[in-house]
Amino acid sequence: MQDLMNVSYDTQIPNNVGLSSDKRVLKALEKWHPGYINWWNDLIPDNFQQSLVYLRTAVSVDPKGWAKFDYVKMPEYRWGVLLAPQVEDRKIPCGEHAGEVAWQEVPGEYRNMLKRLIVIQGDTEPASVEQQRFLGLTAPSLYDMRNLFQVNVEEGRHLWAMVYLLHKYFGADGREEADDLLRRSSGSEEAPRMLGAFNEETPDWLSFFMFTYFTDRDGKMQLESLAQSGFDPLSRTCRFMLTEEAHHMFVGETGVGRTIERTCQVMKENGIDDPYDVDKIRSFGVIDLPTIQKKLNLHYTLSLDLFGQEVSTNAANAFNAGIKGRYMEHRIDDDHKLTDDTYVVWNMEGDQAVQKEVPALTAINMRLRDDYTRDASGGIQRWNKIIEKLGVDFKLKLPHEAFNRKIGVFSGHNFDPEGKLVSGAEYDAGIPNWLPTHADGDFIQSLMKPVYEPGQYAGWIAPPKVGIDNKPGDFEYVKLHVA
């Protein structure tokens, strides 16, 4: 009997799924592996590939101690295939099959739907690594650089996780899709990533933090809903991915928080009370709060678009089929079928945004998006506490969900961040105050100078409260390779 809690390192691919006795899948994965390594090697600048990075590697799926930390060169990172432990006698949690025994093999009737969901999820994982590939060159500290690389290798592992499912359960089609996951590439004209938000470069570190806070949180919500899947291997994969995802959100929240903290400190040190005294604040080399609000507006609204149409047949089908649940499905007290329930969604009637009830099944996306917004608002409050504590009179907030939307009912309409429909002229006039301008981008870019001394931080960001793995402040998180 194999040990499914701990990870087997006896194959090229660490895993807890008994790969060494599953020759067919092992062979397929080993065939895919070189392409993956090439992808990775071509991706991140070479001197970082050669550097020793203090990374955590999953060695177990036991929640009490699943990772160990050590120096590792990224190309040698052991990207493994790890599934959360199987829950005995697990049932399909939702949809028309609710209460039936969870599937251990792909049900033929839902094969294509499942494959599509896995491919879309899989496509986002390497995409973010691609978007962030040059950030190492401007890291504000070795601590942050290490966090970036940790996020990167784990997104890489998440790709592995999806590729494993494709190879194991979807036959020749699955292998083809797995190859295409390496063929598509963020921002590529040739074969772009599937979702729009994953084709924009992450140009600076504030964008990176915003991305990990807002966009990775969309990823988290998607994983949460796939973790509810009646297809047990998918559920188990996603449950384990979520343990890693928490760190990504942490990197985002603390990254933005430290930026805010530094800005407020510098304002206080220099006697600036008006947070809108932008030029003066910037002259001290920190990012003013209104600009941070603009970045927040941008990333939050881009992330809302990732939830798709408010009313969606695909989402309804997936829920009813039991292959994708709602956030925390098991904690929801209803029949988990939703055949007669309704849910309130936005719609445009003429020029009027109205909320109306629609069949709950069709509003699965909207519901997940609402859960997302609740989840995302927690960090905003904590950021505001930092501002308040440092005595600055400013409050960050989430813009209205109608603002700056490209997908869904609000797209094509001009809403301001308060959710008020405005004229084209008002919109044009407001935009420089609502979304980052090119000039804002230039300014932020001007601050993006690398700091590679252990324990040192760029002037625009405060050091973290505690180190990773409880390491001291001057710990050398990355031993940079000097060619």
Partner 1 sequence: MTEKTIDFQTDPTKYRHWRVEYAGDVANLYMDVDETAGLFDGYELKLNSYDLGVDIELADIVQRMRFEHPEVKVVVMRSAKDKVFCAGANIRMLGGASHAHKVNFCKFTNETRNTFEAAEEDSGQKYICAVKGACAGGGYELALACNYIMLTDDGSSAVALPEVPLLAVLPGTGGLTRVTDKRKVRRDRADIFCSIEEGVKGKRAKEWDLVDEVVPNAKFDEIVDQRAKEFAAASQKPTGAGVKLEPLQRSIAADGSLNYTLVEVVLDRAKGRATVTLNGPDAPAPASPEALHALGDQSYLLRLARELDDAILHLRLNEREVGLLIFRSQGDPEGVLAHEKLLLDNQDHWLAREILAYWKRVLKRIDVTSRSMAALVEHGSCFAGVLAEVLWAVDRTYMMEGEFEGDNRPTAAIRMSPSNFGPFPMGNDLTRLQTRFLGAPEQAEELKSKQGETIEAKAADALGLVTYIYDDIDWEDEIRIFMEERASFSPDALTGMEANLRFAGPETMETRIFGRLTAWQNWIFNRPNATGEDGALQRYGTGIRGDYNNERV
- Helix ranges restricted to H, 270-348: 278-283, 289-305, 313-321
Among 47, 19, 33, CA closest to 78: 33
One of 84, 316, 447, 478 touching partner 1 (CB under 8 A): 316
| 320 near partner 1, rule: CB under 8 A | yes
| 194 near partner 1, rule: CB under 8 A | yes
* 42: amino acid identity, one letter: D
| 191 near partner 1, rule: CB under 8 A | yes
| 431 near partner 1, rule: CB under 8 A | no
Question: Which of positions 276-315 make contact with partner 1 (CB under 8 A)?
Answer: 309, 313, 315
One of 103, 160, 209, 319 touching partner 1 (CB under 8 A): 319
| 112 near partner 1, rule: CB under 8 A | yes
Shortest CB 188 distance to partner 1, Å: 8
| 332 near partner 1, rule: CB under 8 A | no
Shortest CB 189 distance to partner 1, Å: 4
Shortest CB 173 distance to partner 1, Å: 9
Shortest CB 308 distance to partner 1, Å: 11
Helix (H) or strand (E) holding 440: helix 438-447
Shortest CB 295 distance to partner 1, Å: 24
- Asked if 186 and 130 count as a contact pair (C-beta separation under 8 A), the reply is yes
Residue with tokens 């909320």: 355
Shortest CB 325 distance to partner 1, Å: 13
Among 89, 279, 292, 280, CA closest to 209: 292
Nearer to partner 1, 192 or 203 (CB): 192
Number of residues that bind partner 1 (CB under 8 A): 29
| 183 near partner 1, rule: CB under 8 A | yes
Among 221, 233, 71, CA closest to 162: 233
| 342 near partner 1, rule: CB under 8 A | no
Nearer to partner 1, 18 or 192 (CB): 192
Nearer to partner 1, 19 or 366 (CB): 366
| 12 near partner 1, rule: CB under 8 A | no
Among 388, 353, 370, CA closest to 307: 370
How far is Cα 233 from Cα 118, in angstroms, rounded to an integer? 12
User: 92: which 2 tokens?
Assistant: 């399909």
Nearer to partner 1, 4 or 119 (CB): 119
Among 346, 333, 464, CA closest to 405: 346
Non-local (6+) Cβ contacts of 367 within 8 A are 326, 327, 343, 360
How far is Cα 266 from Cα 286, in angstroms, rounded to an integer? 7
How far is Cα 373 from Cα 406, in angstroms, rounded to an integer? 17
Residues of this chain that bind partner 1 (CB under 8 A): 96, 112-113, 115-116, 180, 183-184, 188-192, 194, 196, 309, 313, 315-317, 319-321, 338-339, 359, 361-362, 364
